Structure 1
Amino acid sequence: MSTLHPEPRIANLVDKLSLRDSVSPEEIAVLETILETPYKVPAGADIVREHTRPQHSTLLISGFSARYTTLEDGGRQITEINVAGDFIDLHSLLMKQMDHGVVALTDCVAAQAPHARLIEVTERHPHLTRLLWLDTIIDAAIHRQWLVAMGRRSGLGHLAHLVCELYLRLQAAGQADDLTFELPLTQTMLGDALGLSTVHVSRLISELRNEGVIAWSGGRIQILDWRRLTELAEFDPTYLRLQSEPV
Protein backbone atom coordinates (compact mmCIF):
# COMPACT_ATOMS: atom_id res chain seq x y z
CA MET A 1 0.00 0.00 0.00
CA SER A 2 1.08 3.56 -0.64
CA THR A 3 2.49 5.69 2.17
CA LEU A 4 1.25 8.85 0.49
CA HIS A 5 -2.30 10.18 0.80
CA PRO A 6 -3.52 10.90 -2.73
CA GLU A 7 -5.68 13.84 -3.70
CA PRO A 8 -9.42 13.13 -3.29
CA ARG A 9 -9.94 13.08 -7.04
CA ILE A 10 -7.74 9.99 -7.48
CA ALA A 11 -8.29 8.37 -4.06
CA ASN A 12 -10.78 5.77 -5.36
CA LEU A 13 -8.51 4.91 -8.30
CA VAL A 14 -5.50 4.48 -6.02
CA ASP A 15 -7.54 2.32 -3.61
CA LYS A 16 -8.51 0.05 -6.49
CA LEU A 17 -5.01 -0.18 -8.00
CA SER A 18 -3.40 -0.72 -4.58
CA LEU A 19 -5.63 -3.73 -3.97
CA ARG A 20 -3.90 -5.49 -6.87
CA ASP A 21 -0.32 -4.24 -6.46
CA SER A 22 1.60 -1.55 -4.60
CA VAL A 23 1.40 1.98 -5.98
CA SER A 24 4.45 4.09 -5.23
CA PRO A 25 4.35 7.74 -4.12
CA GLU A 26 5.93 8.65 -7.46
CA GLU A 27 3.17 6.83 -9.35
CA ILE A 28 0.49 8.55 -7.28
CA ALA A 29 2.08 11.89 -8.13
CA VAL A 30 2.02 10.96 -11.82
CA LEU A 31 -1.69 10.12 -11.65
CA GLU A 32 -2.35 13.47 -9.98
CA THR A 33 -0.45 15.44 -12.62
CA ILE A 34 -1.94 13.82 -15.74
CA LEU A 35 -5.49 14.86 -14.81
CA GLU A 36 -7.00 18.20 -15.72
CA THR A 37 -9.47 20.18 -13.57
CA PRO A 38 -12.51 18.12 -12.50
CA TYR A 39 -15.88 19.08 -13.93
CA LYS A 40 -19.52 18.20 -13.26
CA VAL A 41 -21.73 16.16 -15.55
CA PRO A 42 -25.51 16.15 -14.95
CA ALA A 43 -27.43 12.89 -14.90
CA GLY A 44 -28.50 11.86 -18.38
CA ALA A 45 -25.70 13.71 -20.20
CA ASP A 46 -23.09 11.94 -22.29
CA ILE A 47 -19.58 11.96 -20.88
CA VAL A 48 -18.27 10.35 -24.05
CA ARG A 49 -20.39 10.29 -27.22
CA GLU A 50 -20.64 7.35 -29.57
CA HIS A 51 -18.41 7.45 -32.70
CA THR A 52 -16.34 10.41 -31.48
CA ARG A 53 -12.54 10.44 -31.38
CA PRO A 54 -11.59 11.57 -27.86
CA GLN A 55 -8.24 13.22 -27.33
CA HIS A 56 -8.33 12.30 -23.65
CA SER A 57 -9.46 9.50 -21.34
CA THR A 58 -11.85 10.28 -18.51
CA LEU A 59 -11.63 9.29 -14.84
CA LEU A 60 -14.93 9.07 -12.97
CA ILE A 61 -14.41 10.79 -9.60
CA SER A 62 -17.93 10.45 -8.21
CA GLY A 63 -21.29 9.13 -9.31
CA PHE A 64 -22.29 6.28 -11.61
CA SER A 65 -21.97 6.17 -15.39
CA ALA A 66 -22.55 3.48 -18.00
CA ARG A 67 -21.16 2.33 -21.30
CA TYR A 68 -23.97 1.91 -23.79
CA THR A 69 -24.84 1.23 -27.40
CA THR A 70 -27.93 2.67 -29.09
CA LEU A 71 -29.95 0.77 -31.68
CA GLU A 72 -31.67 2.32 -34.68
CA ASP A 73 -35.07 2.11 -32.96
CA GLY A 74 -33.72 4.15 -30.04
CA GLY A 75 -33.31 1.21 -27.72
CA ARG A 76 -30.33 1.36 -25.41
CA GLN A 77 -28.25 -1.50 -24.07
CA ILE A 78 -25.94 -0.79 -21.14
CA THR A 79 -22.83 -2.96 -21.34
CA GLU A 80 -21.09 -1.92 -18.11
CA ILE A 81 -21.81 0.28 -15.11
CA ASN A 82 -18.88 2.48 -14.06
CA VAL A 83 -18.15 3.49 -10.47
CA ALA A 84 -15.92 6.19 -8.99
CA GLY A 85 -12.28 5.33 -9.59
CA ASP A 86 -12.91 3.91 -13.06
CA PHE A 87 -11.21 5.25 -16.16
CA ILE A 88 -14.36 5.02 -18.26
CA ASP A 89 -12.63 5.13 -21.65
CA LEU A 90 -8.96 4.41 -21.09
CA HIS A 91 -9.09 2.14 -24.14
CA SER A 92 -9.78 5.19 -26.34
CA LEU A 93 -6.04 5.93 -26.12
CA LEU A 94 -5.47 3.12 -28.64
CA MET A 95 -8.96 2.51 -29.97
CA LYS A 96 -9.22 6.09 -31.33
CA GLN A 97 -12.86 6.12 -32.46
CA MET A 98 -15.45 5.10 -29.89
CA ASP A 99 -17.83 2.30 -30.87
CA HIS A 100 -20.03 3.07 -27.84
CA GLY A 101 -20.92 5.97 -25.59
CA VAL A 102 -20.68 6.66 -21.87
CA VAL A 103 -23.61 8.35 -20.13
CA ALA A 104 -23.88 9.78 -16.61
CA LEU A 105 -26.51 7.72 -14.80
CA THR A 106 -26.37 10.09 -11.82
CA ASP A 107 -24.84 13.50 -11.34
CA CYS A 108 -21.12 12.87 -11.77
CA VAL A 109 -17.77 14.53 -11.33
CA ALA A 110 -15.06 13.58 -13.82
CA ALA A 111 -11.58 14.63 -14.88
CA GLN A 112 -9.80 14.22 -18.19
CA ALA A 113 -6.33 12.84 -18.81
CA PRO A 114 -5.06 14.01 -22.22
CA HIS A 115 -3.82 11.16 -24.39
CA ALA A 116 -0.50 12.92 -24.86
CA ARG A 117 0.12 12.68 -21.09
CA LEU A 118 -0.99 9.04 -20.99
CA ILE A 119 1.46 8.24 -23.78
CA GLU A 120 4.21 9.82 -21.65
CA VAL A 121 3.17 7.51 -18.80
CA THR A 122 3.59 4.47 -21.05
CA GLU A 123 7.07 5.65 -22.03
CA ARG A 124 8.37 6.64 -18.59
CA HIS A 125 6.47 4.58 -16.00
CA PRO A 126 6.25 0.93 -17.06
CA HIS A 127 4.83 -0.40 -13.77
CA LEU A 128 2.05 2.19 -13.67
CA THR A 129 1.36 1.41 -17.33
CA ARG A 130 0.91 -2.27 -16.47
CA LEU A 131 -1.46 -1.38 -13.63
CA LEU A 132 -3.60 0.70 -15.97
CA TRP A 133 -3.39 -2.02 -18.61
CA LEU A 134 -4.67 -4.50 -16.01
CA ASP A 135 -7.58 -2.16 -15.40
CA THR A 136 -8.60 -2.37 -19.06
CA ILE A 137 -8.19 -6.17 -18.99
CA ILE A 138 -10.58 -6.34 -16.04
CA ASP A 139 -13.02 -4.18 -18.03
CA ALA A 140 -12.94 -6.84 -20.75
CA ALA A 141 -13.50 -9.57 -18.16
CA ILE A 142 -16.53 -7.69 -16.85
CA HIS A 143 -17.94 -7.54 -20.38
CA ARG A 144 -17.49 -11.32 -20.74
CA GLN A 145 -19.40 -11.95 -17.53
CA TRP A 146 -22.17 -9.59 -18.62
CA LEU A 147 -22.40 -11.51 -21.90
CA VAL A 148 -22.72 -14.82 -20.05
CA ALA A 149 -25.34 -13.34 -17.72
CA MET A 150 -27.36 -11.89 -20.60
CA GLY A 151 -27.33 -15.12 -22.57
CA ARG A 152 -27.47 -17.87 -19.96
CA ARG A 153 -28.45 -16.71 -16.48
CA SER A 154 -32.02 -16.40 -15.29
CA GLY A 155 -33.33 -12.91 -14.64
CA LEU A 156 -32.94 -13.48 -10.90
CA GLY A 157 -29.42 -14.84 -11.30
CA HIS A 158 -28.50 -11.93 -13.56
CA LEU A 159 -29.67 -9.32 -11.05
CA ALA A 160 -27.99 -11.18 -8.18
CA HIS A 161 -24.74 -11.28 -10.17
CA LEU A 162 -24.91 -7.53 -10.82
CA VAL A 163 -25.42 -6.83 -7.11
CA CYS A 164 -22.47 -9.05 -6.16
CA GLU A 165 -20.23 -7.43 -8.77
CA LEU A 166 -21.09 -3.83 -7.92
CA TYR A 167 -20.63 -4.41 -4.20
CA LEU A 168 -17.13 -5.85 -4.68
CA ARG A 169 -16.12 -3.18 -7.19
CA LEU A 170 -17.34 -0.40 -4.90
CA GLN A 171 -15.62 -2.03 -1.93
CA ALA A 172 -12.36 -2.22 -3.90
CA ALA A 173 -12.62 1.52 -4.57
CA GLY A 174 -13.30 2.32 -0.90
CA GLN A 175 -16.99 3.12 -1.39
CA ALA A 176 -18.74 0.17 0.26
CA ASP A 177 -18.36 -1.90 3.40
CA ASP A 178 -20.32 -4.15 5.76
CA LEU A 179 -22.27 -5.57 2.79
CA THR A 180 -23.95 -2.20 2.24
CA PHE A 181 -23.66 0.25 -0.65
CA GLU A 182 -25.43 3.07 -2.43
CA LEU A 183 -26.91 2.38 -5.87
CA PRO A 184 -29.11 5.37 -6.81
CA LEU A 185 -30.22 3.97 -10.17
CA THR A 186 -33.76 3.79 -11.50
CA GLN A 187 -35.39 0.52 -12.49
CA THR A 188 -35.32 1.76 -16.08
CA MET A 189 -31.53 2.03 -15.89
CA LEU A 190 -31.30 -1.42 -14.34
CA GLY A 191 -33.58 -2.73 -17.09
CA ASP A 192 -31.22 -1.31 -19.73
CA ALA A 193 -28.33 -3.10 -18.00
CA LEU A 194 -30.16 -6.40 -17.58
CA GLY A 195 -32.04 -6.37 -20.87
CA LEU A 196 -35.36 -6.58 -18.98
CA SER A 197 -38.50 -4.49 -18.64
CA THR A 198 -38.93 -2.26 -15.60
CA VAL A 199 -41.84 -4.45 -14.49
CA HIS A 200 -39.60 -7.53 -14.58
CA VAL A 201 -36.83 -5.72 -12.69
CA SER A 202 -39.30 -4.67 -9.99
CA ARG A 203 -40.52 -8.26 -9.67
CA LEU A 204 -36.97 -9.59 -9.31
CA ILE A 205 -36.05 -7.02 -6.66
CA SER A 206 -39.17 -8.01 -4.71
CA GLU A 207 -38.18 -11.68 -5.02
CA LEU A 208 -34.72 -11.01 -3.56
CA ARG A 209 -36.31 -9.01 -0.75
CA ASN A 210 -38.91 -11.68 0.00
CA GLU A 211 -36.24 -14.38 0.19
CA GLY A 212 -34.41 -12.31 2.81
CA VAL A 213 -31.33 -11.98 0.60
CA ILE A 214 -31.23 -8.18 0.42
CA ALA A 215 -32.82 -5.06 1.84
CA TRP A 216 -33.24 -2.60 -1.04
CA SER A 217 -34.73 0.76 -0.13
CA GLY A 218 -34.44 3.75 -2.42
CA GLY A 219 -30.85 3.85 -3.57
CA ARG A 220 -29.40 1.84 -0.69
CA ILE A 221 -28.73 -1.92 -0.80
CA GLN A 222 -27.88 -4.06 2.21
CA ILE A 223 -26.90 -7.64 1.48
CA LEU A 224 -28.43 -9.77 4.22
CA ASP A 225 -27.29 -13.20 3.01
CA TRP A 226 -24.09 -13.06 0.94
CA ARG A 227 -23.84 -16.84 0.62
CA ARG A 228 -27.35 -17.18 -0.78
CA LEU A 229 -26.86 -14.19 -3.10
CA THR A 230 -23.70 -15.72 -4.57
CA GLU A 231 -25.49 -19.05 -4.99
CA LEU A 232 -28.32 -17.44 -6.93
CA ALA A 233 -25.77 -15.59 -9.07
CA GLU A 234 -23.34 -18.52 -9.45
CA PHE A 235 -20.87 -15.78 -8.67
CA ASP A 236 -17.14 -16.37 -9.06
CA PRO A 237 -15.15 -13.15 -8.37
CA THR A 238 -12.03 -14.37 -10.19
CA TYR A 239 -12.68 -12.00 -13.10
CA LEU A 240 -12.46 -8.95 -10.81
CA ARG A 241 -8.86 -9.79 -9.82
CA LEU A 242 -9.27 -8.70 -6.20
CA GLN A 243 -6.09 -10.31 -4.90
CA SER A 244 -2.69 -8.64 -4.67
CA GLU A 245 -0.22 -9.97 -7.23
CA PRO A 246 2.73 -8.00 -8.67
CA VAL A 247 2.24 -6.91 -12.28
Structure 2
Amino acid sequence: MSLKKSRSLLCLVVWMCLLSSTGCRSLNQPAFSEKIKQEMNPVQAIRLLEEGNQRFVTGHLAEKHVIRNRRQLISEQKPVAVIISCSDSRVAPEIVFDQSLGDLFVIRVAGNIVNDDVIGSVQYAVDHLHVPIVLVLGHENCGAVIEALQRRRHPAYLQSIVNKIEPAAEKAISAGISEKDIIDRAVIENVKMVEDELLEYPAFRSHSGCRDHLDRRWVRQISG
Protein backbone atom coordinates (compact mmCIF):
# COMPACT_ATOMS: atom_id res chain seq x y z
CA MET A 1 0.00 0.00 0.00
CA SER A 2 1.40 3.40 -0.94
CA LEU A 3 0.25 6.22 1.28
CA LYS A 4 0.09 9.72 -0.14
CA LYS A 5 0.47 12.65 2.21
CA SER A 6 -2.25 15.26 2.10
CA ARG A 7 -1.41 18.86 1.33
CA SER A 8 -1.96 20.61 4.65
CA LEU A 9 0.69 20.17 7.31
CA LEU A 10 -1.38 19.28 10.33
CA CYS A 11 -4.94 18.49 11.26
CA LEU A 12 -5.80 18.38 14.93
CA VAL A 13 -8.25 15.64 15.80
CA VAL A 14 -9.69 16.05 19.25
CA TRP A 15 -11.76 13.65 21.31
CA MET A 16 -12.57 15.14 24.68
CA CYS A 17 -13.53 13.01 27.66
CA LEU A 18 -14.98 15.12 30.44
CA LEU A 19 -13.91 13.43 33.64
CA SER A 20 -14.98 16.06 36.13
CA SER A 21 -18.18 16.00 38.13
CA THR A 22 -18.22 19.79 38.33
CA GLY A 23 -21.01 21.75 36.70
CA CYS A 24 -20.91 22.69 33.03
CA ARG A 25 -21.89 26.35 33.17
CA SER A 26 -20.16 28.65 30.72
CA LEU A 27 -18.92 32.13 31.52
CA ASN A 28 -20.18 35.16 29.62
CA GLN A 29 -16.83 36.88 29.34
CA PRO A 30 -14.17 37.01 26.63
CA ALA A 31 -11.14 35.97 28.67
CA PHE A 32 -10.28 33.81 31.66
CA SER A 33 -8.43 35.20 34.65
CA GLU A 34 -5.89 33.13 36.57
CA LYS A 35 -8.37 32.74 39.44
CA ILE A 36 -11.04 31.39 37.07
CA LYS A 37 -8.50 28.98 35.54
CA GLN A 38 -7.97 27.46 38.99
CA GLU A 39 -11.70 26.72 39.33
CA MET A 40 -12.43 25.84 35.72
CA ASN A 41 -15.14 23.39 34.71
CA PRO A 42 -15.06 21.22 31.56
CA VAL A 43 -17.01 23.57 29.28
CA GLN A 44 -14.81 26.50 30.26
CA ALA A 45 -11.64 24.45 29.73
CA ILE A 46 -12.77 23.43 26.24
CA ARG A 47 -13.54 27.02 25.38
CA LEU A 48 -10.13 28.13 26.65
CA LEU A 49 -8.38 25.62 24.38
CA GLU A 50 -10.52 26.48 21.35
CA GLU A 51 -9.83 30.18 21.78
CA GLY A 52 -6.11 29.49 22.17
CA ASN A 53 -6.07 27.39 19.02
CA GLN A 54 -7.86 30.14 17.14
CA ARG A 55 -5.17 32.61 18.24
CA PHE A 56 -2.53 30.19 16.98
CA VAL A 57 -4.29 29.79 13.63
CA THR A 58 -4.61 33.54 13.12
CA GLY A 59 -1.15 34.37 14.44
CA HIS A 60 -2.39 36.56 17.31
CA LEU A 61 -0.77 34.80 20.26
CA ALA A 62 -1.49 35.96 23.79
CA GLU A 63 1.16 37.73 25.82
CA LYS A 64 2.75 35.36 28.33
CA HIS A 65 4.65 36.04 31.54
CA VAL A 66 6.64 32.84 31.83
CA ILE A 67 9.13 34.02 34.47
CA ARG A 68 6.42 35.42 36.72
CA ASN A 69 4.30 32.32 36.25
CA ARG A 70 7.24 30.07 37.05
CA ARG A 71 7.64 31.72 40.45
CA GLN A 72 3.94 31.36 41.17
CA LEU A 73 4.02 27.69 40.18
CA ILE A 74 6.76 26.69 42.60
CA SER A 75 4.30 25.74 45.33
CA GLU A 76 1.49 24.18 43.23
CA GLN A 77 0.12 23.60 39.75
CA LYS A 78 -3.46 23.93 38.46
CA PRO A 79 -3.48 22.78 34.81
CA VAL A 80 -6.80 23.18 32.98
CA ALA A 81 -6.52 20.02 30.84
CA VAL A 82 -4.68 16.74 30.41
CA ILE A 83 -3.42 16.36 26.83
CA ILE A 84 -2.42 12.93 25.52
CA SER A 85 -0.50 13.88 22.41
CA CYS A 86 1.83 12.41 19.82
CA SER A 87 5.52 13.22 20.23
CA ASP A 88 5.62 14.78 16.74
CA SER A 89 7.68 17.99 16.94
CA ARG A 90 5.03 19.91 14.96
CA VAL A 91 2.20 19.27 17.43
CA ALA A 92 3.35 20.81 20.72
CA PRO A 93 0.08 21.30 22.67
CA GLU A 94 1.25 24.37 24.58
CA ILE A 95 1.95 26.10 21.26
CA VAL A 96 -1.03 25.00 19.16
CA PHE A 97 -3.41 25.84 22.02
CA ASP A 98 -1.47 29.02 22.91
CA GLN A 99 -1.06 28.18 26.60
CA SER A 100 1.70 29.02 29.03
CA LEU A 101 3.74 27.33 31.73
CA GLY A 102 1.52 25.42 34.13
CA ASP A 103 -1.64 25.54 31.99
CA LEU A 104 -1.55 22.02 30.51
CA PHE A 105 -0.62 18.59 31.86
CA VAL A 106 0.89 17.08 28.71
CA ILE A 107 1.66 13.40 28.15
CA ARG A 108 3.47 12.82 24.85
CA VAL A 109 4.21 9.48 23.23
CA ALA A 110 4.53 8.48 19.57
CA GLY A 111 1.10 7.76 18.12
CA ASN A 112 -0.64 9.22 21.21
CA ILE A 113 -1.08 5.66 22.50
CA VAL A 114 -1.87 4.71 26.09
CA ASN A 115 -0.14 2.18 28.32
CA ASP A 116 0.09 1.73 32.08
CA ASP A 117 2.47 4.67 32.46
CA VAL A 118 0.20 6.98 30.49
CA ILE A 119 -2.87 5.81 32.42
CA GLY A 120 -1.05 6.40 35.69
CA SER A 121 -0.11 9.91 34.62
CA VAL A 122 -3.71 10.70 33.65
CA GLN A 123 -4.97 9.29 36.93
CA TYR A 124 -2.53 11.46 38.88
CA ALA A 125 -3.71 14.60 37.07
CA VAL A 126 -7.39 13.78 37.52
CA ASP A 127 -7.21 12.61 41.15
CA HIS A 128 -4.55 14.90 42.59
CA LEU A 129 -4.64 18.00 40.41
CA HIS A 130 -8.42 17.85 39.73
CA VAL A 131 -8.00 18.56 36.02
CA PRO A 132 -11.49 18.92 34.47
CA ILE A 133 -10.90 17.34 31.04
CA VAL A 134 -8.74 14.76 29.32
CA LEU A 135 -8.07 15.45 25.66
CA VAL A 136 -6.63 12.93 23.19
CA LEU A 137 -4.84 14.72 20.37
CA GLY A 138 -4.07 13.03 17.06
CA HIS A 139 -2.65 14.74 14.00
CA GLU A 140 -2.47 14.44 10.24
CA ASN A 141 0.33 12.37 8.68
CA CYS A 142 1.22 10.77 12.00
CA GLY A 143 4.35 8.71 11.38
CA ALA A 144 3.39 6.02 13.88
CA VAL A 145 -0.03 5.61 12.27
CA ILE A 146 1.54 5.41 8.80
CA GLU A 147 3.91 2.68 10.03
CA ALA A 148 0.92 0.70 11.31
CA LEU A 149 -0.80 1.09 7.94
CA GLN A 150 2.31 -0.13 6.11
CA ARG A 151 2.25 -3.41 8.09
CA ARG A 152 6.02 -3.58 8.30
CA ARG A 153 8.09 -5.11 11.11
CA HIS A 154 10.22 -2.89 13.33
CA PRO A 155 12.71 -3.19 16.19
CA ALA A 156 11.10 -4.40 19.40
CA TYR A 157 10.34 -1.13 21.17
CA LEU A 158 9.03 0.62 18.08
CA GLN A 159 6.98 -2.44 17.20
CA SER A 160 5.31 -2.29 20.61
CA ILE A 161 3.94 1.18 19.68
CA VAL A 162 2.88 0.07 16.21
CA ASN A 163 1.10 -2.95 17.70
CA LYS A 164 -1.10 -0.62 19.76
CA ILE A 165 -2.15 1.30 16.62
CA GLU A 166 -2.66 -1.65 14.28
CA PRO A 167 -6.34 -2.27 15.21
CA ALA A 168 -7.15 1.33 14.25
CA ALA A 169 -5.18 0.93 11.02
CA GLU A 170 -7.09 -2.25 10.19
CA LYS A 171 -10.40 -0.46 10.73
CA ALA A 172 -9.34 2.25 8.30
CA ILE A 173 -8.17 -0.27 5.72
CA SER A 174 -11.38 -2.30 5.97
CA ALA A 175 -13.55 0.82 5.58
CA GLY A 176 -12.99 0.76 1.82
CA ILE A 177 -12.25 4.48 1.59
CA SER A 178 -10.01 6.18 -0.94
CA GLU A 179 -6.26 5.97 -0.55
CA LYS A 180 -5.90 9.72 0.00
CA ASP A 181 -8.25 9.59 3.03
CA ILE A 182 -6.99 6.45 4.69
CA ILE A 183 -4.33 8.09 6.91
CA ASP A 184 -6.78 10.61 8.33
CA ARG A 185 -9.32 7.84 8.93
CA ALA A 186 -6.70 5.75 10.75
CA VAL A 187 -5.74 8.74 12.92
CA ILE A 188 -9.39 9.23 13.89
CA GLU A 189 -9.86 5.53 14.63
CA ASN A 190 -6.73 5.58 16.79
CA VAL A 191 -7.99 8.55 18.82
CA LYS A 192 -11.36 6.83 19.32
CA MET A 193 -9.61 3.64 20.39
CA VAL A 194 -7.53 5.52 22.96
CA GLU A 195 -10.66 7.22 24.28
CA ASP A 196 -12.42 3.87 24.68
CA GLU A 197 -9.37 2.41 26.39
CA LEU A 198 -9.33 5.26 28.90
CA LEU A 199 -12.98 4.68 29.70
CA GLU A 200 -12.32 1.02 30.46
CA TYR A 201 -10.51 2.00 33.64
CA PRO A 202 -12.79 2.03 36.72
CA ALA A 203 -10.86 4.96 38.20
CA PHE A 204 -12.05 7.19 35.35
CA ARG A 205 -15.57 5.81 35.14
CA SER A 206 -16.01 6.63 38.83
CA HIS A 207 -16.08 10.33 38.01
CA SER A 208 -19.79 11.03 37.70
CA GLY A 209 -21.08 11.83 34.27
CA CYS A 210 -17.96 10.77 32.39
CA ARG A 211 -19.82 8.89 29.66
CA ASP A 212 -22.80 11.27 29.72
CA HIS A 213 -20.61 14.33 29.21
CA LEU A 214 -18.44 12.84 26.52
CA ASP A 215 -17.77 15.59 24.02
CA ARG A 216 -16.33 14.75 20.61
CA ARG A 217 -15.38 17.52 18.27
CA TRP A 218 -12.84 18.78 15.76
CA VAL A 219 -10.71 21.68 16.88
CA ARG A 220 -9.81 22.79 13.36
CA GLN A 221 -7.24 22.42 10.63
CA ILE A 222 -4.05 24.38 11.04
CA SER A 223 -1.37 25.06 8.49
CA GLY A 224 2.34 25.27 9.06
| TM-score, length of structure 1 as denominator length | 0.26
Q: Which has the higher contact order (CA 8 A, sep 6+)?
A: 2
Q: Which has the higher strand share?
A: 1
